[in-house]
Amino acid sequence: MQKRLVFLVLASALVSQNAVPLHACGDKLLMLGRGIRFQSRHTANAASVLLYLPAAVRSGGVLSDPKLESALREAGHQVRSVDTKEELQTALQSARYDVVLADIAEASDLQATVAASDAIVLPVVYLLAPARRPEAKVDAARAEKEFSAVLQLPGRPGHYCALVDKAMELKLKRERSKAPRT
């Protein structure tokens, strides 16, 4: 028994003298200066977003990016889609929306309808159609002057959320300018 105890003490002393440092799997990224940045897409100003998706527009491909709705939901925005002008009217009367996403061709027409509900219209340009790409870029530049923000599809999910945040800032500025000064 005493021989075993001496053997264990000597073996543990020998192993502890020749110890090799072991690193966890994530440590090698930090050791080499390649740390991973984790970015949250959550927004400080969660918005209530209404997507206006008429059937005629959907066939043209506008607002058809599957990442759009999921990116907005992941950022903390509440998202609802409507298909017809009647559903749009009902949705605007039944609930409060901050941002209405609509095709650039219909955005100007919706401006008067949406203004009564105090929401911001954010026009959407679909850049993927090769035949309409030059027209779409000109339309986007024109809409940028009129609406101050234009969402271009397809794009990065973070870009979608940034533009909705910009629309929320515009809405807050508009509300501040309408508020009576004391």
pLDDT top residue among 75 and 137: 75
Residue 9 covered by a domain? no
pLDDT top residue among 28 and 97: 97
Residue 6 covered by a domain? no
Label residue 13 by pLDDT band (50, 70, 90): confident
Residue 30 covered by a domain? no
139-168 confidence digits (pLDDT tens): 777 777 777 787 877 777 778 888 888 888
| CATH assignment at residue 116 | 3.40.50.2300
38-54 confidence digits (pLDDT tens): 555 566 678 899 988 77
Total tally of structural domains belonging to the chain: 1
Residue 130 covered by a domain? yes
Residue 41 covered by a domain? no
> 105 to each of 13, 95, 110, 166, how far by Cα in Å?
79, 25, 10, 21
Residue 20 covered by a domain? no
Domain containing residue 137: 48-178
Among candidates 131, 153, 130, 157, which has minimal Cα distance to 140?
153
